[in-house]
Amino acid sequence: MLGLIGRRLAYLVPVILAVTALTFLIANLLPGDLAIVMLGDQATPENVAALHKQLGLDLPLWQQYLHWLWGVLHGDFGTSHRTGQTVLNAIAGRLPVTLELLIMAELGGILIGVPLAILCAVRPGSAFDRTVAGIAFGSLSVPPFMLAILLIFVFALRLHLLPATAYVPLSDSLLGNLRSMALPGATLALLEWPTIMRVLRSDMISTLQEDYIAMARAKGLSPRRILLVHALKPSSLTLVTVIGLNIGRLIGGAVITESIFALPGVGRLLLESIYLRDFIILQGGVLLVAIGFVLVNFLVDMLYAVLDPRIRHGRA
């Protein structure tokens, strides 16, 4: 187990280094002078020269990278020339909203996807199974922004049940916060459950054919215990993997829903920095999001190892 963690950690270092390099390279795709683009109307020769000096834009590319990397390694991801806020502060202020959104999405997806997967796996090929499979397949073809707009149309504009774009911070009111997060959370949860359902269903179907399930039946255990303990527990490993794989897509979904529902999260921060040409925030934000994503995937891998006694005890 410790060896496994060590090997995984050792792999993290080159991946994160490569991520910084790629982020840096993308930031240099910009045609023209970064300083002029960033300064916009205020691009006087003096301002441009000052910004050049501040950003080290006159140095060769590799030196600029090392310079930037050095800062990053010391926690300096840059400072917005527009607001004077550091990238870390800007992200930290927005992170709770995004995390809440992601957790709601994942919980909602599990709450819908897992029971449906179990019910389908119990009678594969039944009318219920085929109906759920059809709905799941159809849901996978719904673009996230479309679903968001549909939910706004139905629940905010027609039924007046929930607000569409009035974000309430958690610190103001728990209920208000949950109400304002309900539609964006539901949007992502409705996009999340089909993958969970599909993977868990096929995994459960094969698990239910295992000898140890026949053995559990031969023991006279209740169907409930057989499904939830004997079948779901081994399959939960797969579930963890799916959730890990889906996080990348879910982060993309968060960018979209935060934009549509006007949530002050990290995704909207990135979009705003694009619209306002705040490239420092964009670069640092993309890097932090990517590092966060890599780390979450690492944690998911570890969770996998913790859940599976065969890996936990140092085999495989």
Annotate 156-203 with DSSP letters as a single string. Answer: IIIS--S-SS----TTT-HHHHHHHHHHHHHHHHHHHHHHHHHHHHHH
Give the footprint of another protein on residues 171-190 (CB under 8 A): none
Alpha helices in the chain (DSSP H): 2-27, 34-39, 45-55, 61-73, 87-122, 127-139, 144-151, 174-208, 211-218, 223-225, 232-260, 266-275, 279-307, 309-312
With CB under 8 A as the rule, give the number of residues binding another protein: 74
Give the footprint of another protein on residues 151-170 (CB under 8 A): 152-153, 157
Q: Which is nearer to another protein, 116 or 260 (by Cβ)?
A: 260
* Cα-Cα end-to-end distance for the chain: 10
Give the footprint of another protein on residues 106-125 (CB under 8 A): 124-125
Annotate 65-91 with DSSP letters as a single string. Answer: HHHHHHHHHTT---B-TTT--BHHHHH
Q: Which is nearer to another protein, 21 or 174 (by Cβ)?
A: 21
Residue 40 is a binding residue for another protein (CB under 8 A): no
Residue 127 is a binding residue for another protein (CB under 8 A): no
Using the rule CB under 8 A, which residue among 247, 263, 269, 305 binds another protein? 247
Helices 174-208 and 144-151, interaxial angle, to 10°? 130
Give the footprint of another protein on residues 198-217 (CB under 8 A): 202, 205, 210-212, 214-217
Q: Which is nearer to another protein, 173 or 219 (by Cβ)?
A: 219
Residue 102 is a binding residue for another protein (CB under 8 A): no
In the stretch 56-75, what mask flags binding to another protein with x, by CB under 8 A? --------------------
Contact 88, 75 (CB under 8 A): yes
Give the footprint of another protein on residues 249-278 (CB under 8 A): 249, 251-252, 255-256, 259-260, 270-271, 274-275
Among 69-77, 78-86, 175-183, 283-291, which window interacts with another protein (CB under 8 A)?
283-291
